[in-house]
């Protein structure tokens, strides 16, 4: 008997754990004003297939408010419990008719014969602000609603979000500025530029318009909330705030290839020469190649495969070009890395990149792309000379001969040949005297010149520089040149004052590239390696964090001047070491 009762208890406990009902409500503020709407939200979640909703959600009495209702229903599978969840979200814009302590009553629903209800909420309503007619609040009778195209996605899979504005007066749409999002590490959000902005008529005398559309890329798994968007009004302090949206971010399936680098979508990879008309690839002479990933998905520089290192060639940090655009289908376009290659051996040269794979969310499987590489033939100067045709060689030889041999002037008159039986000693002695006098004169001038240089060096207390060849002179000048970080800082400061975001990040790329080039010329290492060897792990970590912060901020749809000022301070802190 006891065993039977325990079995029944366990059975009931399992049913309860996999079948339950959540009904709750909330308001976006508990202090409101007359003629200033606030949002009342009711959420119903039914877990499991055994529970049946017998009645629609019965909303409380709104007789003390002007209101407008919008609702959304969705169904998805809990990846942990493997059960179905039905979710209904009702959003009601409530505009108080009178001041005082008003109560928003309980919402009711019947599921499997049991009635569920929410707790009532008290809201303190103050008198409407008295403003001149010219400065009336344009947010009166307006609210926002955010929706997403899919509430169940994989990690790093793009999802499209839209924000609709609802208003009783269509002229209010003209006062809205672009949407802004709270900073978050859980998502990458990029705004879509082109979308349909037509105005639609809805119930309750409200009109609606899509005022923002964006691509959301989740970076974490589990149930996460897309942060609310804020849309300020032009020439007003008022701001509309949208609702939050909860989405279920699933983990990627097991069995990812070893070369998988979080690329989710559908992609192709190409390796090609940038200068396609180039014919000869000579040893120690640089040329450029491009590694390009194109397609749609979570396009970003982080998914680019790198060139495999080899003793057959030398390469440097690539220049990254981001040609991706946020569209209604996600991020589309391509990401390109441009490399400088310097061949070090003669003969066949194979330039290969890392293997590339991606996860296709539509097919729900990993896709691997066959190895990509360039196969070139490198030559030396002798090979180029030997490759010339016989005609080219004859022409070059003829030109050289004509340059070096003086052609005599032909005279049609009969030449009179005289034989000199005696030597002209006066001419020979005269020529010798001229040569000796010239040598003495130029020796005297050169000696005076050296004495003058010596005196100038002694005055400046500097050692006399030895005579060097052209290559040594260039090396000395290069070593004497200091990296002028202050000029870059002044330039970045000026761009910040002009509030030009694109130019700010472009100027930083120039600073980064020039610093790397300077370090390679003077220390035979990159700037990051220079920091590691001369300043230790602390500055190396600061440099890595700076590059990450700039990459995130550069591709953020809402880069702020305050954030760029913080980045500028970090840039000065890192590059002052040079």
Tell me the per-residue pLDDT of 273-323, one tens digit each, with 9 for 90 and over: 988 777 778 888 889 999 999 999 999 899 999 999 999 999 988 999 999
Q: Where are the domains of the chain?
A: 20-126, 139-250, 261-382, 485-576
Task: Indicate the fold that domain 20-126 takes in CATH.
Answer: Immunoglobulin-like (2.60.40)
Collapse the DSSP code of 444 into the 3-class scheme (helix H, G, I; strand E, B; otherwise coil) and give the result.
helix
Q: What percent of the chain has pLDDT over 70?
A: 80
CATH of 139-250 given 3.90.1150.10, 2.60.40.740, 2.170.120.12, 3.40.50.1400: 2.60.40.740
In 118-255, DSSP assigns E strands to 121-126, 142-148, 152-154, 159-167, 180-181, 187-191, 199-201, 207-218, 222-226, 229-232, 239-241, 245-250
Residue 118 in 3-state DSSP?
coil
* Three-state secondary structure call for residue 244: coil
At 14-26, the pLDDT tens digits run 444 445 888 999 9
Q: Tell me: domain 261-382, CATH 2.60.40, correct?
A: yes
Vertex 221: Cα angle to 215 and 227 (nearest 5): 45
pLDDT tens for 223-254 read 998 988 888 887 767 788 888 889 999 999 99
Fold match, 139-250 / 261-382: yes
Provide the sign of the torsion angle of the four alpha carbons 513, 514, 520, 523, taken in this order.
Answer: negative
Query: Can you read off the two tokens belonging to residue 128?
Result: 């409407």
**Among all chains, which residue has been given the structure tokens 């505009």?**
95
Q: Report the alpha-carbon distance of residue 347 to residue 379 in Å, rounded.
A: 6
Q: Where are the alpha helices (DSSP H) in 387-536?
A: 390-404, 425-459, 470-480, 485-498, 501-523, 527-535
Q: What is the pLDDT of residues 82-119, one digit of tens each?
A: 788 888 888 888 888 889 998 999 999 999 989 999 99
DSSP-derived letter for residue 168 is S
Alpha carbons 505 and 500: distance in angstroms, whole number: 9
Query: Each residue of 25-61: pLDDT tens digit?
Result: 999 888 888 878 888 999 998 888 788 888 999 999 9
Q: Is 338 exposed, middle or buried (0-12, 13-18, 19+ CB in 10 A)?
A: middle
Instruction: Report the predicted TM-score, pTM, of the whole model to 2 decimal places.
Output: 0.48
- Alpha-carbon dihedral of residues 337, 341, 347, 352, nearest 10 degrees? -30
Residue 57 DSSP symbol: -
């Amino acid at each position: 008997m006891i065993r039977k009762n325990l079995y029944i208890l366990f059975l009931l406990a399992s049913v309860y754990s996999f079948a339950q009902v959540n009904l709750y409500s909330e308001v976006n503020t508990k202090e409101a004003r007359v003629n200033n709407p606030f949002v009342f939200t009711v959420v119903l979640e039914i877990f499991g297939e055994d529970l049946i909703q017998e009645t629609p959600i019965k909303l409380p009495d709104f007789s003390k408010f002007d209101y407008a209702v919008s609702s959304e229903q969705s169904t998805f599978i809990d990846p942990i419990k493997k059960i179905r969840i039905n979710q209904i979200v009702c959003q009601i814009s409530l505009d108080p008719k009178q001041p005082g302590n008003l109560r928003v009553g309980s919402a009711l629903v019947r599921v499997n014969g049991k009635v569920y209800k929410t707790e009532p909420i008290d809201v303190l309503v103050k008198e409407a602000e008295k403003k001149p007619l010219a400065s009336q609040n344009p947010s009166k009778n307006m609210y926002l609603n955010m929706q997403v195209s899919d509430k169940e996605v994989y990690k790093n899979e793009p999802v499209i979000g839209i924000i609709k504005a609802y208003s009783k007066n269509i002229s209010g749409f003209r006062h809205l500025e672009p949407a802004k999002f709270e900073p978050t590490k859980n998502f990458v959000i990029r705004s879509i530029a082109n979308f349909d902005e037509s105005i639609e008529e809805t119930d309750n005398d409200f009109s609606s318009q899509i005022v923002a559309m964006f691509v959301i890329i989740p970076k974490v798994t589990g149930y996460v909330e897309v942060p609310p968007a804020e849309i300020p009004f032009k020439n007003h302090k008022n701001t509309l705030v949208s609702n939050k949206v909860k989405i279920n971010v699933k983990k990627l399936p097991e069995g990812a290839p070893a070369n998988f680098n979080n690329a989710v979508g559908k992609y192709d990879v190409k390796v090609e020469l940038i200068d396609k008309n180039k014919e000869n690839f000579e040893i120690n002479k640089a040329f450029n190649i491009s590694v390009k990933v194109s397609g749609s998905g979570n396009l970003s520089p982080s998914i680019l495969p790198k060139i495999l290192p080899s003793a057959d060639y030398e390469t440097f940090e690539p220049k990254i070009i981001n040609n991706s655009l946020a569209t209604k289908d996600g991020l589309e376009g391509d990401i390109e890395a441009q490399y400088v290659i310097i061949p070090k051996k003669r003969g066949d040269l194979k330039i290969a990149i890392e293997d590339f794979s991606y996860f296709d969310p539509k097919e729900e499987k990993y896709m691997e792309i066959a190895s990509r590489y360039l196969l070139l033939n490198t030559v030396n100067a002798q090979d180029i000379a030997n490759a010339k045709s016989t005609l080219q060689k004859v022409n070059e030889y003829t030109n050289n001969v004509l340059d070096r041999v003086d052609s005599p002037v032909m005279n049609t008159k009969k030449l009179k040949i005289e034989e000199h039986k005696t030597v002209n000693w006066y001419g020979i002695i005269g020529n010798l005297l001229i040569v000796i006098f010239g040598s003495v004169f130029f020796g005297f001038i050169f000696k005076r010149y050296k004495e003058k240089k010596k005196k100038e060096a002694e005055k400046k207390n500097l050692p006399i520089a030895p005579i060097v060849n052209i290559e040594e002179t260039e090396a000395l000048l290069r070593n004497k040149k200091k990296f002028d970080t202050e000029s870059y800082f002044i330039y970045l400061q000026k761009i910040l004052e002009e509030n030009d975001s694109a130019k700010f990040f472009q100027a930083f790329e120039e600073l980064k590239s020039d610093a790397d080039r300077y370090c390679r010329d003077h220390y035979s290492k990159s700037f990051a390696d220079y920091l590691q060897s001369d300043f230790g792990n602390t500055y190396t970590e600061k440099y890595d964090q700076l590059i990450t912060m700039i990459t995130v901020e550069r591709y953020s749809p809402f880069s702020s001047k305050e954030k760029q000022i913080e980045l500028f301070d970090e840039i000065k802190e890192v590059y002052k070491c040079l």
